[in-house]
DNA sequence: CGAATATTTGAGGCCTATCAAAGTGAGTGG
DNA sequence: CCACTCACTTTGATAGGCCTCAAATATTCG
């Protein structure tokens, strides 16, 4: 993930940059800059997290919202029989448990997939700010609606796409979310195990492995050293039925 | 659906009651009564809708949010190949397209399943109110988070539950959402076709039919005249792995 | 009553799961 | 630097859940 050079007006805080800047929230058009900065001030300093640590337990009542500054994580729920469904893969800039902002109990858990760095936004403070500043409250609503869009698409994949298309779709999505743009071949860091991928797509790891081999054999992707490279983006997108528009709600904010 | 007798303080509007009263929004603890009433005033009178009419087209830009006052509807998305995934079944009191409040384009469609009555909340007005009154903005955020919870659970079903458990789960959920409470046997109006059910659960209608027969054969449910009756609620819930807590975020609002 | 829609039944096959084991690679400690 | 372990990937064989296609039956509605 490259950080875009900052060429806007100078912000009032000098250093270090708030973890909030890495977040979609930072660019929410509904959030005036002064309110944004107040929110940024409420964010605690980021700290490092080991891989595979549980940030939020299922049915727990976390007193903070976690911002994923670096590394990968995922949100999941489990059935009583032990089946695990990952509802969202989280990459740098994502918010782990937005629901904790207003729900006492969240019905999902959050876990780091890699070493990660996390910043906390204490719930009480966020709520206070949202109660006083409409821009902040609207920004939270907007962020949650964005998450809903992602959940819709994810559900469409799980419910109605073949395993191969599902895999292709998630790879296309991650390319965009990680900012690995470019028309031709492109690659991005990809630290997920095939078991995690399977849990994200409602498949077994064995089947993920086989589908991945098919994508490789078709010359669509290549993997090496935890790097995913997309060799044939149009082909992969065609196979996936991928339409990137759902990932760009910023372009489409209703005013 | 029975309407609960109203025994709270008198509202200032005399008649008719606002469609908003049927909505979860009405009881949102974050929404002060005066702001709530302003929102209610912005709602247009309800009007009747024929079955199977498209309220929101996929990728469209509706200028209103639709409140489902009566009847059933559903939200869905389609793959390029024509597969349809219903992401949410909508019953009286639900909001059809909350995302339209802030997203110019929504990536799903909404369609009525039965004859329905719908009230419109013009987007512009809702946005103006949300920009001025924090309670309203927070209420929208809260509603969206509630939808988020529902989507998570639905995805868990589709991804990780067997067809039979999926069906059982959705029947348990609808019982609660329709207010068909009671410990023992209970029944509720159930106008959905098996094809719709299949699209909601990522199954074919044929398989829904077969699973439904198994539930009937096991003495768990009975159907007649578009009425669903649950004969053995504990048994159905056990089969489904159903835990109703996710449906009651009101009890668990973070303050 | 007739047409359209929805449910039910049957046969056959594919996609994905399951179970098990071998291969690979990274990290650890001697 | 080399065994050793652990986690992950890969491979194979088999089974089963769910789909597909097709047709018969039941139900709704004009």
What pLDDT, in 10s, does the model give residues B111-131? 999 999 999 999 999 999 999
Closest approach of A96 to chain B, Cα-based (Å): 13
At residue B32, the pLDDT reads: 95
Average pLDDT over residues B15-22: 80
What pLDDT, in 10s, does the model give residues A67-91? 999 999 999 999 999 999 999 999 9
Q: Which nucleotide is nearest to B207 (CA to C1')?
A: D18
Average pLDDT over residues B136-148: 97
At residue A180, the pLDDT reads: 87
Entry pTM: 0.92
What pLDDT, in 10s, does the model give residues A10-64? 555 555 688 888 898 998 889 999 999 999 999 999 999 999 999 999 988 899 9
Whether the ω angle into residue B16 lies within 30 degrees of 0, i.e. cis, is yes
Would you place residue B59 in the very low, low, confident or very high pLDDT band (cuts 50, 70, 90)? confident
Percent of chain B whose pLDDT exceeds 90: 80
At residue B22, the pLDDT reads: 87
At residue A17, the pLDDT reads: 80
Q: Is the CB of B207 under 7 A from strand C?
A: no
At residue B250, the pLDDT reads: 66
Is B159 close to A81, i.e. CB distance below 8 A? no
Facing A137 at nearest CB: one of B98, B107, B134: B134
Q: Is the pLDDT of residue A184 over 80?
A: no
Q: From edge to edge, which strands make up the β-sheet containing B109-112?
A: B54-56, B109-112, B73-78, B84-90
Query: Strand C: which nucleotides have any atom within 7 A of a protein Cβ?
Result: 5-11, 15-20, 26
At residue A255, the pLDDT reads: 58
Q: How many CB pairs under 8 A join A and B?
A: 196
What pLDDT, in 10s, does the model give residues A93-115? 999 999 999 998 899 999 999 99
| Residue numbers in B near A158 (CB within 8 A) | 155, 158-159, 202
Average pLDDT over residues B43-66: 94
Nearest Cα residue to A99 out of A130, A141, A47, A71: A141
Please, what is the average pLDDT of chain A? 91
Q: Is the pLDDT of residue A159 over 60?
A: yes
Q: Which residue of B has its CA nearest to A60?
A: B252
Nearest Cα residue to A110 out of A133, A134, A94: A94
A 176-215: CB within 7 Å of strand C: 198, 202-204, 206-207
At residue A2, the pLDDT reads: 46
Is B153 close to A77, i.e. CB distance below 8 A? yes
Backbone φ and ψ for A188, nearest 5 degrees, come out as: -150, 160
At residue B2, the pLDDT reads: 45
């Amino acid at each position: 993930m490259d950080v875009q050079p900052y060429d806007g007006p100078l912000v009032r805080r000098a250093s270090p940059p708030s973890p909030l800047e890495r977040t979609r929230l930072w660019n929410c058009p509904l959030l005036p800059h002064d309110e944004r900065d107040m929110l940024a001030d409420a964010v605690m300093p980021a700290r490092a997290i080991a891989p595979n640590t549980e940030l939020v337990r299922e049915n727990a009542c976390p007193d903070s919202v976690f911002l994923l500054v670096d590394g990968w994580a995922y949100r999941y729920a489990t059935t009583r029989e032990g089946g695990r469904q990952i509802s969202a893969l989280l990459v740098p800039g994502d918010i782990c448990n937005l629901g904790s902002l207003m729900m006492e109990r969240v019905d999902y858990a959050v876990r780091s997939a890699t070493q990660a760095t996390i910043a906390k936004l204490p719930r009480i403070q966020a709520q206070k700010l949202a109660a006083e500043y409409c821009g902040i409250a609207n920004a939270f609503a907007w962020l949650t609606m964005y998450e809903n869009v992602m959940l819709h698409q994810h559900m469409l994949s799980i419910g109605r796409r073949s395993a191969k298309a599902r895999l292709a779709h998630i790879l296309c999505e991650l390319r965009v979310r990680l900012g690995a743009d470019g028309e031709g071949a492109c690659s991005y860091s990809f630290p997920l195990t095939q078991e995690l991928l399977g849990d994200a797509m409602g498949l077994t790891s064995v089947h993920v492995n086989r589908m991945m081999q098919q994508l490789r054999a078709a010359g669509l992707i290549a993997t090496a050293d935890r790097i995913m490279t997309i060799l044939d983006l149009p082909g992969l997108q065609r196979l996936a039925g991928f339409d990137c528009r759902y990932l760009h709600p910023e372009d489409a904010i209703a005013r």
